[in-house]
Amino acid sequence: MVNQKNILLGVSGGIAVYKACALASKLTQKGANVKVMMTESAAKFVSPLTFQALSRNPVYIDTFDEKNPKKIAHIDVADWADIAIIAPATANIIGKLANGIADDMLSTTLLATEADVYIAPAMNVHMYAHPAVIQNMKQLEDWGYHFIEPGAGYLACGYVGKGRLEEPESIIAAVESHQLKEQMLAGKKVLISAGPTREKVDPVRFFTNRSSGKMGYALAEVAAELGAEVTLVSGPVSERISHPKVKRVSVLTAEDMYKAMHAHFADQDIVIKAAAVADYRPKLVHEQKVKKQDGNWQIEMERTKDILKSLGEMKTNQFLVGFAAETNNPLEYGEKKLLQKHLDAIVVNDVSAEGAGFEGDTNMVTYLNKAMHQDEVSIASKREVAARILEFIDRDMKDE
């Protein structure tokens, strides 16, 4: 998975720099094109000449050392890289990245690259456990950076604990494993619905629900990272998505979502309806604001179209997945929905449970396929839950 890949190896200053020499050598032996970029501190531990000999490429240290006047070096390298590996990654470089600081060539290049970035930390055990470092790593993970956890053992400072740079072979194995996983949905077209709908009463009032769209957006983001071409049909939410392989189609009402899902359905491989669509809408929509009056106001509601059922009736080769947000007997109702709507799988969750449901950043679900096989996903971030759901879908599609 690294053969013929352009790999930027970022080396920051720590005693573990000596392991980065072996990493550069092993990457080169595997057929990767390696360019090494060092901080000034790293160069105090190991000579840049060592990395030049191992990578067979010039080593970059100084932002202002522009060897080719036709190119800006740090931008050129940032664009060139398919993969960036920071090993060792000190608390300092992690902090810079998490806070958008670009004061040397390595930090500047990493902020400019769109390559997958893998961070292999190495530091004192107490530094690794410091709240600031933990917060910085969490921020980077949220932004899509990938961490290769350090090992535990005897550290150069004399302490014994977690903080030792992972071995070069393990770093390469982690990168290759993730790169392989990233191709899991390569070539697949995925249609996802997310968020609520709004059903108009008059120009200032509407019915809606508490859906934030976070689960659907997490599914779209992760599916794109796994190589899929994603169409996201979204109700009105504040969530944003930036992945270039995600095309967002904005809708407002249940009828809008029905039309958009049907318009994009035919050529999809996977369809996931995560949106919380209104089941009912006002039968009469007032063109002018209804004025407040004495007494009660009764609004007659009519059924909206059942989007999921209609897709289940017309599907051919699509793998169709629904969501069932329940507050009691979730599996019973989920199984019923799976069968009635001709689904290939359903994701069931109890939205009344702590840590699950609307608006939050975490979820816990049960994935149930048409063979009635259950996979439990315990409480985790919605992004992690999305990754597990997509793994289950990929597995079931291969088993068909």
279 is in an annotated binding site: yes
Q: What's the whole-model pTM score? A: 0.69
Determine the Cα–Cα distance for residues 139 and 147; give it in Å rounded to an integer: 12
Strands (DSSP E) contained in 274-381 are 280-282, 301-303, 319-326, 345-350, 362-369, 374-381
Residue with tokens 């990245």: 97
* Three-class DSSP category at 221: helix
CATH architecture of 6-182: 3-Layer(aba) Sandwich (3.40)
Token reading at 233: 């049909």
Catalytic residue, from 46, 157, 252, 397: name it: 157
Q: What's the pLDDT at 151?
A: 78
Q: What's the pLDDT at 142?
A: 84
Domain ranges of the chain: 6-182, 189-399
Determine the Cα–Cα distance for residues 86 and 123; give it in Å rounded to an integer: 13
Strand partners, 330: none
Sequence-separated (6 or more) residues with CB below 8 Å from residue 65: 73
Of 74, 85, 96, 81, the C-alpha closest to 19 is 85
Determine the Cα–Cα distance for residues 8 and 104; give it in Å rounded to an integer: 15
289 is in an annotated binding site: yes
* Three-class DSSP category at 217: helix
Q: What's the pLDDT at 154?
A: 65
* pLDDT averages per 10-residue partition of the chain, 400 residues: 91 94 96 96 96 96 85 91 96 97 96 95 91 94 89 68 86 88 88 97 95 95 92 96 90 98 98 96 96 93 97 96 90 94 95 79 93 93 92 91
Q: What's the pLDDT at 103?
A: 95
Q: What's the pLDDT at 144?
A: 85
Residue 119's H or E segment, with its range, is strand 116-121
* Domain 189-399 listed as CATH 3.40.50.10300: yes
Give the gyration radius of the chain's Cα atoms.
25
Judge if 6-182 and 189-399 fold alike in CATH terms: yes
323 is in an annotated binding site: yes
Q: What's the pLDDT at 156?
A: 67
341 is in an annotated binding site: yes
Residue type, 219: L
70 is in an annotated binding site: no
Q: What's the pLDDT at 119?
A: 97
Quick check: is 21 catalytic? Answer: no
* Three-class DSSP category at 67: coil
